Amino acid sequence: MSETMKVEILSRETVKPSSPTPPHLRTVHLSFFDVMTPPVYTGGLLFYRINGVAGEIGDISGKLKKSLSETLTRFYPLAGRINGKVIDCNDEGAVFIEARVGSSLSDLLVNPSPSSLIGLLPDGRPRAGMWPLLLVQVTSFSCGGGFVVGICLSHRVSDATALSIFIRGWSATANGRGDTVAPGFTASRVFPSPPGQEPIVLPEKDETGETKEPEFVTRRFVFEAEKIKQLKNRASSEKVKDPTRFESITALMWRCALKAKRSNSANAKKPSVLQFPIDMRRRNISPVLSENTVGNIISASSVETDDPEMGIDELARKLREGKEKASEKLRTKEPMKIAEEFEKNVGGFFYRKIIGAIDGYSSTSWGRSGFYETDLGFGHPIWVTPDSFDTKVELFAMLDTRDGHGTEVWVSLKVEEMAAVEKDDELNQYALLNPSVV
């Protein structure tokens, strides 16, 4: 796929809820975790083949806008705007964009480069702490055989699970089962934002060029089912006899990144810290939190090593121990103590990273999120990818492959370190570098 794929914007309009939000639902308070979240977007791309389904892109967009409008009636905060620490659910609406590219879907899927995917996300995204909270872009291809739905949702009101809840809700609406996904907006009742807490703001970009940010690059690696099985065997140990897919792959990626970083003698003694999220929806913290609660309902765990020779099994054990320790705290501590520890631990991680005291990495997974079951009225997607292809931090972002047995990992690292990771024999033993999707 050409690195210079041109995306032409055809239209841009606002889609409002099909029914007005009742007065008693007009205000939703942001939770402690929402207020702590930077004003950026989270989202992804869903690729569809039309396969003979009647209708031009205009007809497809018309059906999507109709079902989106009906979905926003239940997900009414997403059609509002943020005002300080509350969402005014005023039915302003979501942005809906139609676009097209002059190339074929098949060409893109043969070699999906990050630069070719960026333009498929909604164009002209502002700071996500403001309206609009939700943007959707539908992009058609010159071949006429498919389209892409790009979704961006304000991270201030949504983590990855909340994004999947919304997409499942939209899918249910498009198929006449709208009432099967009932979202909840009650997180602030469990984790209220204290009076003195102010929303995080991002610093303005330095336009003078005096501050030079490190250059990052993103690559896509695919682990097939048999290789995952072999890797899990490699990651197993006496203490962790059954490592998960997440633990095994994260351990390998962390080890490869650690080796790449330590190849530079200047970093030989700096600790390496890996942070990963923990979904709190199913942790029995409060009956108010259901599995369909929308918002940022995540805690986090961090694990650390200063041993560049630590094996995959040892790193997997650290990940398991970190998860178990964090899970125990979630079971035994009061909600606001959980929030206070989250602020201390996550803030400490980023502070140590900013001042250069550690090499910090993050790993996240969209596994078992149901994205491949998303039917917006045109069948299931042939490919789904998170918007992790334009990331300026060290990140391993995972998503199951279409058959559910493999795993795709979008890896973002500094340029010089990625060059070493790509050549790592240990990684190449288990993963394929950007194979064709089709």
pLDDT digits (tens, 9 = 90+) for 83-124: 999 999 999 999 999 999 988 898 899 989 888 899 999 976
Residues 156 and 285 in one domain: no
Are 263 and 361 in a shared domain? yes
Specify the pairing of strand 432-433 against strand 216-223: antiparallel
In a domain, 333, yes or no: yes
Residues 249 and 143 reside in one and the same domain: no
- The answer to the question of residue 131 being in a domain is yes
Q: Which domain holds residue 223?
A: 216-433
Query: Which of 138, 172, 190 corresponds to the end of one domain?
Result: 190
Residue 207 confidence class, pLDDT cut points 50, 70, 90: low
Of 141-150, 223-232, 259-268, 416-425, minimum mean pLDDT range: 259-268
Prediction pTM value: 0.93
Is 199 among the domain residues?
Answer: no
Spot the catalytic one: 155, 159, 359, 400.
155
pLDDT for residue 315: 97
**Residue 151 included in any domain:** yes
Q: Residue 127 pLDDT more than 70?
A: no
Average pLDDT over residues 176-202: 89
Q: Summarize pLDDT for 294-353 with one digit per residue, the tens.
A: 999 999 999 999 888 899 999 999 999 999 999 999 999 999 999 999 999 998 999 999
Residue 175: predicted pLDDT: 93
Q: Is residue 200 part of a domain?
A: no
Q: Are 221 and 275 members of one domain?
A: yes
Give a yes or no: residue 201 inside a domain.
Answer: no
| 112 and 251 in a common domain | no
Task: Categorize the per-residue pLDDT at 208 as very low, low, confident or very high, splitting at 50, 70 and 90.
Answer: low
Is the predicted pLDDT of residue 51 greater than 90, yes or no?
A: no
Do 33 and 125 reside in the same domain of the chain? yes
Examine the domain organization and report whether 133 and 226 are in the same domain: no
pLDDT tens digits, one per residue of 356-400: 999 999 999 988 788 999 999 999 999 999 998 878 899 999 999
Chain mean pLDDT for the chain: 90
Q: Pick the closest to residue 233 from 243, 223, 246, 247 (CA basis).
A: 243
pLDDT band of residue 54 (cuts 50, 70, 90) is very low
pLDDT (0 to 100) of residue 129: 60
* Number of structural domains found in the chain: 2
Instruction: Say if 203 falls within a structural domain.
Output: no
**Does 87 map to a domain?**
yes
* CATH number of 172's domain: 3.30.559.10
375 is catalytic: yes
Give the pLDDT of residue 410. Answer: 96
Query: Do 328 and 186 belong to one domain?
Result: no
Residues 20 and 161 in one domain: yes
Residue 53 banded pLDDT, cuts 50, 70, 90: very low
Catalytic residue, candidates 88, 107, 375, 424: 375
In whole angstroms, give the CA distance from residue 292 to residue 302.
26
For residues 174 and 272, state if they share a domain.
Answer: no
SS (H, E, C) the chain: CCCCCCEEEEEEEEECCCCCCCHHHCEEECEHHHHHCCCCEEEEEEEEECCCCCCCHHHHHHHHHHHHHHHHHHCHHHHCEEECCEEECCCCCEEEEEEEECCCHHHHHHCCCHHHHHCCCCCCCCCCCCCCCEEEEEEEECCCCEEEEEEEEECCCCCHHHHHHHHHHHHHHHCCCHHHCCCECCHHHHCECCCCCCCCCCCCCCCCCCCCCCCEEEEEEEECHHHHHHHHHHHCCCCCCCCCHHHHHHHHHHHHHHHHHHCCHHHCCCCEEEEEEEECCCCCCCCCCCCCECCCCEEEEEEEECCCCCCHHHHHHHHHHHHHHHHHHHHHCCHHHHHHHHHHHHHHHHHHHHCCCCEEEEEEECCCCCHHHCCCCCCCCCEEEECCCCCCCCEEEEEECCCCCCEEEEEEEEHHHHHHHHCCHHHHCCCEECCCCC
> Are residues 44 and 167 located together in one domain of the fold?
yes
Same domain, 234 and 131: no
Listed residue (175, 211, 159, 206) closest to 37, CA to CA: 159
